[in-house]
Amino acid sequence: MRAITLDLDDTLWPFAPIGERIETALHDWFEAHSPRTAERFPIAEMRALRERVMDEFPQLAHDLGLLRRLTIERALRESGDDPELASAAYAIFFRERNRVAFFPDALDGLRRIAAHLPVAAVTNGNADLAAIGIDAHFRFALTAREYGAPKPDAGFFLEACQRLGFPAGEVLHVGDDPHVDILGAARAGLRTCWIDRGLHVWPGALPAADLRVTTLTELADWLDSGAVLKKVA
The pLDDT tens digits of the residues spanning 133-142 come to: 999 999 999 9
pLDDT at 217: 97
* Residues 179 and 79 placed together within one structural domain of the fold: no
* Residues 110 and 220 placed together within one structural domain of the fold: yes
* Residues 139 and 198 placed together within one structural domain of the fold: yes
* Residues 114 and 9 placed together within one structural domain of the fold: yes
Residue that terminates a domain, selected from 73, 97, 121: 97
pLDDT at 188: 98
CATH number of residue 29's parent domain: 1.20.120.1600
Question: How confident is residue 230, by pLDDT bands cut at 50, 70 and 90?
Answer: low
* Residues 81 and 93 placed together within one structural domain of the fold: yes
pLDDT at 135: 97
pLDDT at 226: 80
pLDDT at 232: 44
> Taking the model in full, what pTM does it have?
0.91
Q: Identify the domain containing residue 32 by its residue range.
A: 16-97
230 domain-assigned: no
232 domain-assigned: no
* Residues 67 and 122 placed together within one structural domain of the fold: no
Question: How confident is residue 198, by pLDDT bands cut at 50, 70 and 90?
Answer: very high
231 domain-assigned: no
* Residues 37 and 138 placed together within one structural domain of the fold: no
The pLDDT tens digits of the residues spanning 199-224 come to: 999 998 999 999 999 999 999 999 99
The pLDDT tens digits of the residues spanning 142-191 come to: 999 999 999 999 999 999 999 999 999 999 999 999 999 999 999 999 99
pLDDT at 1: 87
CATH number of residue 120's parent domain: 3.40.50.1000
* Residues 213 and 139 placed together within one structural domain of the fold: yes
For the segment 21-37, the average pLDDT, to the nearest whole number, is 97
In this structure, are residues 120 and 5 in contact, taking their beta carbons and an 8 Å threshold?
A: yes
Burial track 40-77 (b if 16+ CB lie within 10 A, e otherwise): bbeeeebeebbeebbeeeeeeebbbbebbbbbbbbbbe
Strand order of the β-sheet with 3-6 is 140-143, 119-123, 3-6, 171-175, 191-195, 211-213
Residue that terminates a domain, selected from 97, 128, 162: 97
Total count of domains within the chain: 2
* Residues 136 and 216 placed together within one structural domain of the fold: yes
* Residues 88 and 153 placed together within one structural domain of the fold: no
* Residues 211 and 140 placed together within one structural domain of the fold: yes
* Residues 88 and 167 placed together within one structural domain of the fold: no
pLDDT at 227: 72
